[in-house]
Amino acid sequence: MRYLRVCLAVFLLLGILSIGNISSAADWYYVGQSANKDTFLIDNESLEKTSLQAKFWVRKGSADGTTIYYLMGMDRESRTVKVISRIKYGASGEVLEAGAVNSEWLAIVPDSPMEWVYSLLW
């Protein structure tokens, strides 16, 4: 009986610690929802910003249950954006794709989720 109580106490302690780590790992801020019902959030915790450029994580959730995390770079003066890295998760949480992207700088499309982010940052 004592063994069960010790195990239960250990599991409860580990659960409490893991909840604390998850909640402090990211600070997601809702940006908006696209016409096809994808939701976009940015991680305030990861945001690195100067008066000219920013780097941050974006989370895109889709109706089919997939989630894609993008590490983005954004340039204020040229109003451009690029994807540095991405991780795609399936509906059950398995990693479907991951890796560096390092795309070219692209113009921010008017009234797009990236323009919404741009407006929030500057």
Residue 26, pLDDT above cutoff 50: yes
Enumerate the domain spans of the chain: 26-121
The pLDDT score that the predictor gives to residue 84 is 97
The pLDDT score that the predictor gives to residue 25 is 66
pLDDT higher for 8 or 109? 109
Q: Facing residues of 99 across strands?
A: 86
Which pLDDT band holds residue 5 (cuts at 50, 70, 90)?
very low
Average pLDDT for 89-118:
94
- Map the chain to HEC letters: CHHHHHHHHHHHHHHHHHHHHHHHHCCEEEEEECCCCCEEEEEHHHCEECCCEEEEEEEEECCCCCEEEEEEEEECCCCEEEEEEEEEECCCCCEEEEEECCCCCEECCCCCHHHHHHHHHC
- Calpha distance 63→37 (Å, rounded): 7
Q: Read off the pLDDT of residues 30-84 as tens digits, 9 standing for 90 and up.
A: 999 999 999 999 999 999 999 999 999 999 999 999 999 999 999 999 999 999 9
pLDDT higher for 122 or 23? 122
Above pLDDT 70, what percent of the chain? 80
